Amino acid sequence: MDLENLSSKPLDKHIRRLPRVIIIGVKKCGTRALLEYLKLHPLIKAPGPEPRFFDRNYHRGLDWYRSMMPATKEHEITMEKTPRYFVSPDVPERIYNMSLNTKLVIVVRDPVIRALSDFTQAVSKHEVESNMIFRRRVLRRDGDINLHSSIVQTGIYVRYVTNWLKYFGSSNIHIVSGEELITNPLAVLETVQDFIGVEREIDGNLIFFNKTRGFPCIRILKRKRTSKCFGKTKGRNHVQTDSTTLKRLYDFYSPYNQYLFKVINKTFKWNIIQREQ
């Protein structure tokens, strides 16, 4: 037996490892769908629930965080998603302190539609009174934007992105379109797999558009070609609102969106959606 060679070659153990990739947000932009798609890749492993380590459970320490992760081999990629990280001011520095090489993925979506989605979820979880209307949450009585509303704040993406850029270079941050994740998930996944540094293995056999559901769903090849669509909490009908409220929000977000596009050197077609409203 070649003992020398054996000792210099560590065994590729199946152990829990800290994530190398984190989907940090944004809430209601498609973070669950992105993670579930990526888990179809044979080398990508992730826990089901959101660990919420860097914002809520930081006091538990890195060993606790590691214990939340699935066991992987060295060549496999551990990742997690916690959308709350994106808007939490202390989290960029905390992730940087864990590893400055962490790769971060951000899903963004038209911030007005994101706000409607967030509000719809809050109503369904009874976090706001059922008779509370969207307009009253996002606008003040005098018709100005309610800057205190977290539903409004979250959509000012550039404000948060600039905080992340203080700690991570743009080569460590990959931003994808939540709209494209629905209309062309395979194209988005190609860019994400390239960014993560794994072979492109997620293809049209695994993800298909389900016309009845109106969204892409996952084909489970192992179980005689059954499929899995996301549950009722993903892709639901949004609460209705009036066109004045929508216009106010679009006008409010417009300069922030333009600033974001400059900062990330990438443009999303949210203004076209605005004209179509």
Q: Does 234 bind ligand A3P (CB under 6 A)?
A: yes
Q: For the segment 3-32, give every residue that binds ligand A3P (CB under 6 A).
A: 27-32
Of all residues in the shown chain, the one whose CB is closest to ligand A3P is: 117
| Residue 146 C-beta-side C-alpha neighbours within 13 Å | 15
Q: Which is nearer to ligand A3P, 72 or 112 (CB)?
A: 112
If you write DSSP's letter for every residue of 253-271 in order, what string do you get? HHHHHHHHHHHHT---THH
Rg of the chain in Å (alpha carbons): 20
**What angle separates helix 185-196 from helix 31-38, to the nearest 10 degrees?**
70
Q: Does 82 bind ligand A3P (CB under 6 A)?
A: no
**CA angle, 7 then 12 then 14, to 5°:** 135
Q: What's the closest the beta carbon of residue 7 comes to ligand A3P, in angstroms?
A: 46
Q: Which of 216, 245, 248, 253 binds ligand A3P (CB under 6 A)?
A: 216
Pick left, alpha or beta for residue 225 (phi over 0 → left; psi -120 to 50 → alpha; otherwise beta). left
Q: Does 45 bind ligand A3P (CB under 6 A)?
A: no
Q: What's the closest the beta carbon of residue 181 comes to ligand A3P, in angstroms?
A: 5
Q: What's the closest the beta carbon of residue 156 comes to ligand A3P, in angstroms?
A: 17
Q: Which residues are near ligand A3P by CB under 6 A?
A: 27-33, 83, 117, 181-182, 215-216, 230, 234-236
